[in-house]
Amino acid sequence: MSAAVSSGGTPPGPPESRRIALLRHAKADWPQVSDHERPLAERGRQDASTAGRRLAETGIAFDLALCSTASRTRETWKLAVHELPHRPRTVYEERLYDASLGDLIALLNETPDEVNDLLVIGHNPGVHALADALAGKAEGDTLARMTKSGFPTAALAVVGFSGSWKSVEHGVGTLLEYWASHD
């Protein structure tokens, strides 16, 4: 009998399987406002809904969505979430705006372990850098397609990994899916 069982505990099971979906905001307009307040362009509003349908097609029931506080990310999420069969709890996170790769990994490391599937709605270059950094492996041609397209607006990457959110680091996951409406 293992020590965990003999002491009345439960034997440790396999590490939790988790997924992170990274969605770049849709195409923004360039009115005379601060960068943080830029709204979506007409094409962006259409692409945000399309990205929402693509998120729904993944079949992932997200436990949590972290969305940048910038207008274009909030608007992208507002349009995309209507396409999902299940609305996840949403946290608007200031640190996602203009976040570096290190900032994004630190944010993921703070995710509670009861969250299995996380959606992050953010900005480039951060979301592309994060998808690229986490993907130690890739299924099919997903990495080649992501590399070729450069993660355009409304692009979506899904990375799977096993273990705790505190263990998220470079190369920990597998790029499971990549989609962009305008490759």
What are the Cα distances from residue 101, in Å, to 78, 104, 149?
A: 25, 5, 19
Nearest Cα residue to 24 out of 91, 85, 92, 72: 72
| Angle, in degrees to the nearest 10, between helices 101-109 and 126-134 | 60
Residue 18, annotated as binding a ligand: no
Binding-site annotation, residues for substrate: 72
Binding-site annotation, residues: 72
